[in-house]
Amino acid sequence: MLDTVQTLSAAAVEAPYYLPTGDECAVFDAAYRNKLPLLLKGPTGCGKTRFVAHMAAKLGLPLTTVACHDDLTAADLTGRYLLKGGETVWVDGPLTRTVRQGGILYLDEVVEARKDVTVVLHPLTDDRRVLPLERTGETLEAPDDFMLVVSYNPGYQNIMKTLKPSTRQRFLALEFDFPSPDREAQVVAAESGLPLERVKPLVLLAGKLRELKGQDLEEGVSTRLLVYAASLIRDGMPVMKAVEACLLQPLTDDAEIKRGLDDLAVALLG
């Protein structure tokens, strides 16, 4: 469990760089001020996690991130009795801790979690804003500076893994997508240190690769992979080598499709 939870105190971090693609910062701000939970959806590597880290730091709130997985239960979030030195003591989970102390709890890939997780989220995400702890008999009221943020990637959902409408309709929702080519080039240049003019052809290739989503590819290339490629080029790796390792190989295991991607890369960059 420990390796899937990360907490950053507000004082420890300067707001990490985030280039907005629309009015998402204002929506986040409004959600926080109105004590509403927020759902972020969008493809992998498009900036959701970075956005939450940026907003938490700007609002001066500690951020606890939980990477959800299919073994994650409600007790992993709320807490459990543990045996310590012969005594049974209650130990808060990350959700309970954040409700007690305030701050943002961010559940990444929330659809992966077990179904019983939604049961503890429901009373927290409507106007009650309470967390009932059955095991201790407590009912905690969330403080004004508590905010729940969840995210998921709709592309990876299957019919078994989707949020029920009764859960989904408790959240304000923001859809994320890759930034426009100009903005994405700015992001990749800022993150990698590679000059803008050298980043632009990579972004152009990414746009073409994204057009193959749903036909040959399950997912298009992410901004994250573009940052990887640009960073390696900045570090001295030849362009085509970095493109191969960062932008093409991660996308497919199918040899024939891969040849098609190689041809596209050579046509654009070769």
Ligand X SMILES: Nc1ncnc2c1ncn2[C@@H]1O[C@H](COP(=O)(O)OP(=O)(O)OP(=O)(O)O)[C@@H](O)[C@H]1O
Among 13, 19, 25, 240, binds ligand X (CB under 6 A): 19
From candidates 7, 21, 49, 157, binder to Mg ion by CB under 5 A: 49
Residue 18 found at the interface with ligand X (CB under 6 A): yes
**What is each CA distance from 202 to 47, 81, 268, in whole angstroms?**
18, 52, 9
**Candidate residues 198, 208, 210, 224; the one interacting with ligand X per rule CB under 6 A:** 224
- Residue 36 CB-density burial (10 A; 0-12 exposed, 13-18 middle, 19+ buried): middle
Residues in contact with 83: Cβ distance below 8 Å, sequence separation at least 6, in sequence order: none
Asked if 14 and 57 touch (Cβ cutoff 8 Å), the reply is: yes
With a CB cutoff of 8 Å and minimum separation 6, the contacts of 96 are 77, 78, 79, 131, 133, 140
Stretch that binds ligand X, among 39-47, 74-82, 118-126, 142-150 (CB under 6 A): 39-47
Contact between 42 and 48 (Cβ < 8 Å): yes
37 binds, among ligand X, Mg ion, none (CB under 5 to 8 A by kind): none
The yes or no reply on residue 23 touching ligand X (CB under 6 A) is no
CB 16 within 8 A of CB 50: yes
* Interface size with ligand X, residues (CB under 6 A): 19
Q: Which is nearer to Mg ion, 106 or 146 (CB)?
A: 106
129 binds, among ligand X, Mg ion, none (CB under 5 to 8 A by kind): none
Residues 63-92 that bind ligand X (CB under 6 A): none
Q: Is 4 in the site for Mg ion (CB under 5 A)?
A: no
Contact call for residue 136 and Mg ion (CB under 5 A) = no
Measured from the Cβ of residue 239, the count of other Cβ atoms closer than 10 Å reads: 17
Verify binding: residue 106, ligand X, rule CB under 6 A.
no
The Cβ of residue 159 has, within 10 Å, a number of other Cβ atoms equal to 5
Site residues (vs Mg ion, CB under 5 A): 49
Site residues (vs ligand X, CB under 6 A): 17-19, 21, 42, 44-50, 153, 179, 187, 191, 223-224, 227
